[in-house]
Amino acid sequence: MKLSDTTIGEILREHGIEPDPDRQRKTTWETFLKAYWEVLAAVDFTTVEVWTRGGMVTFYILAAMRLSTRRIHIAGVTPNPNAAWVQQVARNLIDCYDGFLRDSRYVLVDRDTNFLAFRGVLEGSDTKPVLLPPHSPNLNANLERYMRSMKSECLSRIIFFGERSLRRALTQFETHYHHERNYQGLGNNLIEPENEVGRLEGNITCRNRLGGMLRYYYRQAA
């Protein structure tokens, strides 16, 4: 059976690939995302104020996300995201043995000057940075949505005294995010459901995190 050029072009577009020779000339953002969704990741910074012995200090939080699974990794926390620190975080993320982004082919990165050294490390690896246009948070919507959830549900509700309390809250929220929170983008499923999730029988149990600020209800086996 022979296929026409039109049919082949439609099949390519359905899989997020523009027919050649238009592939390099007019590939849309939607087409790019469809084509590389399974190997696409994103990184971004957010900040939070922390009380320390020296007074109020701004801490920078660097988070990474695998877009297809929505899995999150807090890559680093520091009050001083200098070039050396950023480079080391990038090396950790793409480490060939246990790096969170080791299987990612592309990483969405904005134009924050803090990412200059980060992009330099990635450009010498198999994981390539994709530089977003200026003022375009909508092009990194999934990670931006996580940042907003983390701030509204956790960081903005706590007064932090020292880096240790901040890291504890981030760890608790990351666990809650992966195991106890469902997502519309994943068919209202959890990212990593635990064994008791989805039981039809048993007593309803409430699990509290961070003093009850994060709550999760599930059925516990009798």
4 phi/psi in degrees, rounded to 5? -80, 165
pLDDT digit of tens for each residue in the chain (222 aa)? 667 767 777 776 666 565 555 555 566 787 888 889 999 999 999 999 999 999 999 999 999 999 999 999 999 999 999 999 999 999 999 999 999 999 999 999 999 999 999 999 999 899 999 999 888 878 899 999 999 999 999 999 999 999 999 999 999 999 989 988 888 888 878 888 776 665 667 777 777 888 777 876 666 655
What was the pLDDT predicted at 95? 95
What was the pLDDT predicted at 191? 87
Amino acid at 16: G
- Asked whether the beta carbons of 17 and 37 are under 8 A apart, the reply is no
Strand partners, 29: none
What are the distances in angstroms from CA 222 to CA 162, 201, 205, 208? 41, 8, 11, 20
* The Cα angle at residue 181 between residues 178 and 184, in degrees rounded to 5: 105
**How much is the pTM?**
0.82
59: number of CA atoms within 13 Å, CB side? 22
What are the distances in angstroms from CA 13 to CA 16, 18, 19, 68, 172? 5, 6, 7, 19, 41
Contacting residues for 1 by C-beta, under 8 A, at least 6 apart = none
What was the pLDDT predicted at 16? 57
**Element at 78 (helix H, strand E):** strand 71-78
Helices (H), 75-209: 83-93, 116-123, 141-153, 163-179
Domains and CATH numbers, the chain: 28-196 (3.30.420.10)
